[in-house]
């Protein structure tokens, strides 16, 4: 299936649009990522105040509540006032966190929202945990694990809080989260120490849990400390060498072997835990303070780079559109120039060559270079040069073809002239032989030879017509249409099958007589050849509104509608003669002759199934019937018909004959009305001067009379001399 066709401009713009769209998409993607990083940093600053700070407050409150809960479980007789006050502070921190999260819900990412929901779900367990502490139904280890689970989920939410693409900031945030988990394990150790100090003894379960917490705290502390940069690592480095930290390390070592806890352990552990908590808050604040300048720098970079990228995109679009429009304009100009070359300039050169004008291929004016404006595209310029080269080659080929046609035409003319010279001599000899002949059979054979010679002369004239030249024979005065039709019929070999029904009347002007005789002879011959030998061909003639119409009708097989339309088109507008197309050479000659004088020739179906050729001679070629002088009674030679072979007799008869010199034209007419006399075949072909062809003369019924004797001989001799002179020219 053939796809839809689009103009070159559409295709060029489509071709340029793809990289432009890709460029815009890449620019947009890069700008989005950069802007997203800046927005993440700004959102991180907002989340620090709305989420991080209240979450750290809640975490610290839970850690203190856990420590006091384990202390109460270790010594049930101790006061609950501190625990109740801490629980109130925990509830307040929880409510504040919920309020801030709801107020800043738009800035909370989906992952953080999921974490917050998990934290809230864990916080819902506080009621059950507190009930276990109050009822003494939960052990210290169970209570420690329950509070630790809530706090641990809060630290999980911290890891998802900073969704920025700044690697340095992300690394420091994760480091402080790891340090916070280490502090959480330290807070658990402090809570466990407070519980055993309140209970007054250290159980095996307490030692195992404490050892596990100590190992985890040290590992997380080492990982987080090494990941922090120099600035953020400073407070922790100074703390690691402080007395409280060393004291706590001694407690860790003693806890594994001591049978009873030292009361001072609880104070030392709580103090160190609070110190770590304070350091964690300071580091978190510093990281948050770093995000604001980073966000500003990112957004500034985005403004500069994004702006430059946008300018680059706009410039690219402008250049692409301009380039595409320029290329499209150049291609359209090339197309218009090529169409002008194909539709106007080359046909004009070919038409001039057909008219016989000289065309010099070396002149710039004859084959100018293809003009395509001020094209700057190398390929388009080269295509234009290629078209110019094609034009020169085409013009050279057309000139060559024209020269070849001229050569062929000269060959036609030379062959025709040579043949005419020989045929004129042959007709002269036949005339002399016909004059001397007395035997009917011999005379009949001479008439047949005379007919064949006349037909050969017509074929020779056909070569002259094909060459574009005009035959040398012609009349200067009008000739009756009736005589013209008879002369045309006598140039057909099977003339006995032709019936002529042309009334006496108008005449043709002299200059067209020869061509009309040839035209009608070709049509009659075609009708005779393309119809069965048992049928007749009828020739009609009558005056019509626009001139004189002659119809040649056969009763053959006819033509198909397509063939008839084809040949009618060729007759109406004869094409240039093609040597390869010679099947209907007669119709081509007819078209040429008709076009020369403005005669219209058309074909149509015959009522009898054959074909009718209609020849419409325009009124300007019709002249009044010529007047012939009445000659005195002369001795004539009569040919009596009946047996099929003519026989000559002698008698006296009046004769009206033109004052012309005539030449032989073949056998007698196909059919003559009874009681009329026809001129001999030699009187129907042409002459170099005079005012008409001989007319039929009334005579006895069943007799055909010819005008012989000294008068006819003198006419023939004059015609022969004129035709010979014409042929030699």
DSSP string, 22-90: HHHHHHHHHHHHHHHHHHHHHHHHHHIIIIIHHHHHHHHHHHHHHHHHHHHHH-TTS-SHHHHHHHHHH
**58 neighbors 119 (Cβ within 8 angstroms):** no
Look at residue 412 in the predicted model and tell me its pLDDT: 67
pLDDT tens digits, 209-253: 999 999 999 999 999 999 998 888 888 888 888 998 999 999 999
* DSSP state string for 393-457: HHHHHHHHHHHHHHHHHHHHHHHHHHHHHHHHHHHHHHHHHHHH---HHHHHHHHHHHHHHHHHH
* Most confident region among 18-32, 241-255, 276-290, 427-441 by mean pLDDT: 241-255
Look at residue 573 in the predicted model and tell me its pLDDT: 84
41 has a pLDDT exceeding 60: no
pLDDT tens digits, 105-162: 665 667 777 777 888 888 899 999 999 999 999 999 999 999 999 998 888 776 665 5
Cα gap 25→27, rounded to integer Å = 5
For residue 692, name the pLDDT band (cuts at 50, 70, 90).
very low
Mean pLDDT of the chain: 75
Mean pLDDT of 44-48: 61
Look at residue 374 in the predicted model and tell me its pLDDT: 61
Look at residue 170 in the predicted model and tell me its pLDDT: 74
Of 452, 450, 485, the closest CA to residue 716 belongs to 450
700 has a pLDDT exceeding 50: no
Least confident of 187-201, 246-260, 398-412, 680-694: 680-694
Half-sphere exposure of 85 (CA within 13 A, CB side): 4
pTM > 0.75: yes or no? no
Can you give the length of the chain in residues?
A: 729
For residue 10, CA distances in Å to 14, 20, 325, 331 come to 6, 15, 10, 12
Look at residue 499 in the predicted model and tell me its pLDDT: 92
Of 78, 204, 191, 87, the closest CA to residue 143 belongs to 191
| 3-state secondary structure (DSSP) of residue 116 | helix
Cα gap 360→349, rounded to integer Å = 10
Start-to-end CA distance of the chain, whole Å, equals 66
Q: Is the model more confident about 465 or about 518?
A: 518
Give me the sign of the Cα torsion angle 55, 56, 61, 65. Answer: positive
Give the residue extent of every domain in the chain: 19-309, 424-728
Look at residue 670 in the predicted model and tell me its pLDDT: 35
Strand pairing of 498-501 and 537-544? parallel
pLDDT tens digits, 477-533: 899 999 999 989 988 888 889 999 999 889 999 899 988 998 999 899 889 988 998
Of 640, 476, 612, 485, the closest CA to residue 551 belongs to 612
Mean pLDDT of 603-619: 93
Q: Could you tell me which residues come within 8 angstroms of residue 240 by beta carbon, excluding any fewer than 6 positions away?
A: none
Q: Is the model more confident about 2 or about 23?
A: 23
653 has a pLDDT exceeding 50: no
| 3-state secondary structure (DSSP) of residue 292 | helix
For residue 17, name the pLDDT band (cuts at 50, 70, 90).
low
The CATH class that applies to domain 424-728 reads alpha beta
Mean pLDDT of 65-70: 94
Look at residue 208 in the predicted model and tell me its pLDDT: 93
Share of the chain above pLDDT 90, in %: 26
Share of the chain above pLDDT 70, in %: 68
Q: Is the model more confident about 358 or about 120?
A: 120
* DSSP state string for 312-380: HHHHHHHHHHHHHHHHHHHHHHHHHHHHHIIIIIHHHHHHHHHTT----TTSTTTSPPPPBTB---HHH
Helices and strands in the chain: count of H runs, count of E runs: 19, 13
Edge-to-edge strand list for the sheet holding 611-618: 498-501, 537-544, 547-553, 611-618, 600-605
Write phi, then psi, for 623 (nearest 5 degrees).
Answer: -130, 160
Look at residue 724 in the predicted model and tell me its pLDDT: 52
Cα gap 69→151, rounded to integer Å = 15
Look at residue 12 in the predicted model and tell me its pLDDT: 65
Q: Is the model more confident about 16 or about 537?
A: 537
355 has a pLDDT exceeding 80: no
Write phi, then psi, for 44 (nearest 5 degrees).
Answer: -65, -40
| 3-state secondary structure (DSSP) of residue 639 | strand
Look at residue 333 in the predicted model and tell me its pLDDT: 76
597: tokens are 């004088």
For residue 378, CA distances in Å to 7, 178, 329, 332, 368 come to 21, 67, 14, 16, 20
Strand pairing of 647-653 and 697-698? unpaired
pLDDT tens digits, 270-328: 999 989 888 888 888 887 777 666 666 666 766 676 677 777 778 777 777 777 777 77
688 has a pLDDT exceeding 90: no
């Amino acid at each position: 299936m053939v796809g839809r066709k689009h103009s070159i401009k559409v295709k060029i713009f489509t071709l340029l649009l793809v990289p432009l769209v890709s460029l815009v998409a890449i620019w947009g993607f890069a700008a989005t990522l950069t802007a997203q990083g800046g927005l993440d940093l700004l959102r991180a600053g907002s989340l620090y105040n709305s989420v991080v700070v209240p979450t750290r407050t809640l975490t610290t409150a839970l850690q203190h509540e856990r420590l006091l809960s384990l202390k109460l479980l270790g010594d049930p007789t101790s006061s609950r006032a501190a625990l109740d006050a801490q629980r109130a502070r925990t509830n307040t921190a929880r409510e504040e966190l919920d309020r801030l999260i709801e107020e800043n819900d738009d800035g909370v990412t989906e992952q953080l929202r999921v974490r917050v929901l998990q934290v809230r779900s864990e916080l819902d367990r506080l009621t059950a945990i507190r009930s276990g502490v109050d009822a003494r139904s939960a052990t210290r280890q169970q209570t420690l694990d329950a509070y630790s689970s809530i706090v641990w989920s809060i630290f999980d939410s911290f890891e998802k809080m900073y969704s920025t693409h700044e690697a340095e900031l992300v690394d420091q945030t994760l480091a402080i989260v790891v340090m916070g988990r280490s502090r959480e394990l330290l807070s658990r150790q402090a809570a466990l120490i407070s519980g055993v100090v309140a209970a007054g003894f250290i159980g095996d379960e307490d030692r195992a849990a404490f050892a596990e917490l100590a190992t985890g705290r040290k590992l997380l502390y080492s990982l987080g400390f090494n990941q922090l940069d120099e600035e953020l690592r400073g407070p922790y480095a100074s703390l690691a060498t402080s007395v409280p930290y060393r004291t706590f390390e001694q407690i860790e070592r003693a806890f594994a072997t001591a049978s009873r806890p030292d009361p001072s352990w609880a104070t030392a552990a709580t103090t160190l835990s609070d110190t770590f908590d304070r350091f964690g808050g300071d580091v978190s604040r510093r990281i948050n303070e770093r995000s604001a300048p980073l966000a500003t720098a990112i957004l500034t970079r985005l403004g500069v780079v994004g702006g430059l990228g946008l300018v680059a995109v706009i410039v690219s679009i402008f250049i692409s559109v301009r380039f595409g429009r320029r290329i499209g304009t150049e291609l359209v100009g090339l197309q218009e120039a090529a169409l002008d070359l194909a539709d106007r300039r080359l046909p004009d050169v070919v038409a001039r060559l057909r008219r016989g004008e000289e065309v010099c291929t070396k002149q710039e004016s004859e084959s100018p270079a293809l003009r395509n404006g001020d094209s700057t595209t190398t390929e388009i310029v080269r295509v234009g040069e290629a078209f110019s080269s094609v034009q020169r080659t085409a013009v050279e080929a057309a000139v060559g073809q024209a020269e070849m046609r001229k050569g062929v035409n000269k060959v036609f003319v030379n062959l025709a002239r040579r043949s005419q010279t020989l045929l004129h001599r042959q007709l002269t000899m036949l005339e002399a032989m016909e004059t001397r002949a007395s035997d009917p059979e011999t005379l009949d054979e001479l008439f047949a030879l005379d007919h064949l010679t006349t037909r050969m002369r017509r074929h020779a004239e056909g070569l002259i017509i094909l060459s574009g030249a005009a035959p040398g024979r012609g009349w200067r005065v009008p000739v009756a249409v009736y005589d013209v039709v008879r002369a045309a019929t006598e140039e057909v070999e099977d003339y006995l099958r032709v019936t002529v029904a042309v009334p006496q009347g108008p005449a043709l002007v002299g200059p067209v007589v020869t061509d009309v005789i040839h035209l009608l002879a070709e049509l009659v011959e075609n009708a005779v050849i393309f119809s069965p030998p048992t049928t007749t061909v009828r020739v009609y003639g009558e005056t019509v509104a626009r001139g004189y119409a002659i119809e040649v009708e056969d009763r053959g097989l006819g033509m198909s509608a397509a063939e008839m339309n084809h040949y009618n088109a060729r007759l109406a507008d004869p094409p240039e003669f093609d040597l390869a197309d010679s099947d209907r050479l007669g119709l081509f000659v007819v078209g040429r002759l008709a076009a020369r004088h403005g005669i219209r020739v058309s074909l149509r179906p015959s009522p009898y199934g054959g074909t009718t050729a209609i020849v419409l001679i325009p009124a300007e070629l019709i002249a009044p019937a010529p007047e012939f002088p009445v000659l005195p009674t002369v001795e004539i030679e009569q040919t009596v018909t009946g047996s099929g072979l003519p026989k000559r007799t002698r008698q006296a008869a009046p004769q009206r004959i033109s004052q012309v010199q005539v030449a032989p034209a073949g056998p007698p007419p196909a059919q003559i009305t009874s009681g009329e006399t026809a001129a001999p075949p030699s009187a129907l072909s042409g002459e170099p001067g005079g005012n008409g062809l001989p007319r039929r003369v009334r005579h006895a019924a069943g007799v055909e009379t010819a005008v012989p004797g000294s008068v006819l001989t003198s006419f023939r001799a004059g015609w022969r001399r004129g035709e010979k002179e014409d042929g030699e020219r």
